[in-house]
Amino acid sequence: MRWLEIFKIYNLKLLKKEKVLFLFTTLSILITITISLVIPQINLENSKYLDNNIRKINGGDLSIVLRIDQTKEFQDKIEELKTNGLDVKTSKLSTCYYKKQSNKIIGTMVSGDYSLEKDEIILQSTLANNLGVKKGDFVELDTMGNGILKYKVKDIEPMAMGVDHDGELLGYGKIQQRDDLNIGDARTMIYISGQDGEKLKEELIKYEDSNMYISIKDKTREMESQMAIQSAVLGTLSTVGYIVSALAIISTTIMLILKRKRDIAILRMVSVDIKNIKRALRLELSLWLAAPILVGGLISYKISTFILSYVGIETGNMTMENISLILKGVIFNSIIFFMLINIALMIIKSIKPLSVIREDEKLVKKSTKKVILITSLCLPLFLGVYGIYSGSIATLGSTLVIILVIMLFLGIVALVVKLLSLIHFRNTVLIYSIKSIKNNFFSFILVLLSLTLTLWFILIGFNLQRSITENINNSLSKILPYNYVAESKDNENLEKVLKSENDVTAYSKIFSIAGKVQNDFKNSMFKAVSVGEVNKNDYNVKFKIVEGDDLFQGENGVVISNERKERNNLQIGDILSVETKKGTFNYKIKGVYDSGGIGSVSILKENVEIGEGIEYMINSKSDKFIDKLKDSAVVNMSCIGESLSSMLGKFLKIFRILSIICVLSTVLFNINMLYMNYSQGEKDDEVIRALGLGNRFLLKSQGVKIFLFIILSSALSLGVYYLSIQLFIKAMFKTNVEVGLMTVGITLINALVLSLIAFNLPIRKMLSKKELNLLRD
| Span 697-712, pLDDT tens digits | 888 888 888 888 888 8
CA distance 506 to 761: 62
- The pLDDT value recorded for residue 511 is 92
Q: What is the pLDDT of residues 631-643, one digit of tens each?
A: 777 777 877 767 6
Give dist(CA 265, CA 255) in Å, integer: 16
* Residue 535 contacts residue 607 (beta carbons within 8 Å): yes
Mean pLDDT score, 217-230: 79
Assign 450 a pLDDT band (cuts: 50, 70, 90): confident
pLDDT value for 154? 93
CB 45 within 8 Å of CB 315: yes
Residue 616, beta-bridge partner list: 486, 509
In this prediction, residue 183 carries a pLDDT of 59
- Residue in 438, 434, 460 with CA at minimum distance from that of residue 723: 460
Burial grade of 614 (CB within 10 A; 0-12, 13-18, 19 or more)? middle
666 C-beta neighbours (distance < 10 Å), count: 29
pLDDT of residue 604: 92
Q: In whole angstroms, what is the distance from residue 578 CA to residue 568 CA?
A: 14
Burial class of residue 535 (count of CB atoms within 10 Å of its CB; 0-12, 13-18, 19+):
middle
Percent of the chain with pLDDT over 90: 10
pLDDT at 585 over 80: yes
Higher-pLDDT residue of 249 and 590 is 590
User: At what angle are helices 441-479 and 393-422 packed, to 10 degrees?
Assistant: 110
Q: Tell me which residue of 27, 745, 28, 36 sits closest to 450, measured CA to CA.
A: 28
**pLDDT at residue 508 in the model:** 92
Residue pLDDT, tens place only, 52-67: 888 888 988 999 988 7
Q: How far apart are the first and last CA of the chain?
A: 28
Amino acid at 45: E
pLDDT confidence bin for 107, thresholds 50/70/90: confident
The verdict on 749 and 629 lying in the same domain is no
What's the angle, vertex CA 269, arms to CA 266 and CA 271, rounded to 5? 120
Residue 739 and residue 653 in contact, taking contact as beta carbons nearer than 8 Å: no
What per-residue confidence (pLDDT) applies to 572? 92
Cα 83 to Cα 65, 75, 79, 207, 492, distances in angstroms: 21, 13, 6, 18, 47
Angstrom distances, CA of residue 614 to CA of 7, 496, 530: 86, 15, 12
Asked whether residue 371 falls in the same domain as residue 502, the answer is no
Which one has a higher pLDDT value, 293 or 241?
Answer: 293
pLDDT at 731 over 70: no
pLDDT in tens, 182-212: 655 678 899 999 888 899 998 888 888 778 8
> Sign of torsion, CA 451 453 458 463?
positive
Residue ending a domain, choose from 636, 665, 681: 636
Q: What are phi and psi of 485, to 5 degrees?
A: -125, 130
Count of Cβ atoms closer than 10 Å to residue 683 Cβ: 11
pLDDT (0 to 100) of residue 673: 74
Spatial separation of the C-alpha atoms in residues 255 and 677, rounded to whole Å: 9
Same domain, 596 and 652: no
Contact 634, 620 (CB under 8 A): no
Residue 363 shares a structural domain with residue 446 = no
My answer on whether 655 and 545 are in the same domain is no
Euclidean distance between CA atoms 715 and 709, whole angstroms? 10
- What lies within 8 Å, CB to CB, of 646 at 6+ separation is 126, 129, 130, 171, 465
- 55 and 112 housed in the same domain: no
Do residues 112 and 215 share a domain? yes
CB 453 within 8 A of CB 240: yes
Domain that holds residue 178: 61-219
Confidence band for 291, pLDDT divided at 50, 70 and 90: confident
Q: Which of 76-90, 132-146, 348-362, 553-567 has the lowest mean pLDDT?
A: 348-362
The answer to whether 211 touches 146, Cβ cutoff 8 Å, is no
244 and 359 belong to one structural domain? yes
Relative to beta strand 120-124, strand 148-157 is parallel
Strand, helix or coil for residue 591: strand
What does the radius of gyration of the chain's CA atoms come to, in whole angstroms? Answer: 33
Q: Could you tell me whether strands 583-593 and 558-561 are parallel, antiparallel, or unpaired per DSSP bridges? A: parallel
- β-pair partners for 280: none
Give the burial class of 679: count Cβ atoms within 10 A of its Cβ; 0-12 exposed, 13-18 middle, 19 or more buried.
Answer: middle
Please give the Cα distance from 16 to 39 (Å, whole number). Answer: 34
Which of 700, 701, 670 minimizes the C-alpha distance to 28? 670
Predicted local confidence at residue 338, as pLDDT:
85
Interatomic CA distance for residues 175 and 139, integer angstroms: 12
- Confidence band for 153, pLDDT divided at 50, 70 and 90: very high
CA distance 447 to 443: 6
Predicted local confidence at residue 390, as pLDDT: 64
Chain CA centroid to CA 670, Å? 25
Distance of CA 655 to the CA centre of its chain: 7
Q: What is the pLDDT of residues 356-399, one digit of tens each?
A: 666 666 777 778 778 877 877 787 777 777 767 666 666 666 66
Indicate if 670 and 774 belong to the same structural domain: yes
Contact 107, 163 (CB under 8 A): no
One DSSP character per residue, 599-626 reads STTEEEEES-SS--EEEEEEEESSSGGG
**Cα 86 from Cα 195, distance rounded (Å):** 7
Note whether 276 and 6 are within 8 A (CB): yes
User: Other C-beta atoms within 10 Å of 563: how many?
Assistant: 19
The number of distinct structural domains making up the chain is 4
Altogether, the residues listed in the chain come to a count of 777
Q: Report the SS3 class of residue 131.
A: helix
Q: How far is CA 485 from CA 108, 284, 371, in A?
A: 16, 70, 64
| Helix orientation angle between 694-733 and 441-479, rounded to the nearest 10 degrees | 40
212 pairs with which residues across the strands?
A: 65
User: What gap in Å lies between CA 387 and CA 397, rounded to an integer?
Assistant: 8
Secondary structure element (H or E) that encloses residue 391, with its range: none
CB 696, CB 432: distance < 8 Å: no
Residue 776 has pLDDT above 60, yes or no: no
* Residues 351, 366: Cα–Cα separation, whole Å: 11
* Co-location of 541 and 683 in the same domain: no
Q: Please indicate, yes or no, whether residues 88 and 169 belong to a single structural domain of this protein.
A: yes
Burial grade of 182 (CB within 10 A; 0-12, 13-18, 19 or more) = exposed
> What's this model's pTM, rounded to 2 decimal places?
0.71
Query: What's the mean pLDDT in 496-504?
Result: 89
DSSP state of 572: T
Pairing of strands 602-606, 528-534: parallel
Count Cβ atoms below 10 Å from residue 314 Cβ, excluding itself: 10
Cα separations (Å) of 279 from 8, 232, 252, 270, 282? 12, 39, 17, 17, 5
Q: How many CB atoms lie within 10 A of CB 136?
A: 8
Q: Are residues 670 and 758 in contact, defined by beta-carbon separation less than 8 angstroms?
A: yes
Contact 370, 222 (CB under 8 A): no
**Does the structure show a pLDDT above 80 at 533?**
yes
Shared domain for 229 and 199, answered yes or no, is no
- Give 647's pLDDT tier (boundaries 50, 70, 90): low
Q: Which residues pair with 620 in a beta bridge?
A: 504
Check residue 361 and give its pLDDT.
67
Query: DSSP letters along 246-292, please?
Result: HHHHHHHHHHHHHHTHHHHHHHHHTT--HHHHHHHHHHHHHHHHHHH
pLDDT score, position 231: 72
Q: What is the mean pLDDT of the chain?
A: 80
Contacts of 21 (CB under 8 A, 6+ apart): 252, 256, 672, 675, 676
Neighbours of 19 (CB within 10 A): 9
Amino acid making up residue 129: N
State the pLDDT confidence band at 180, using cuts at 50, 70 and 90. low
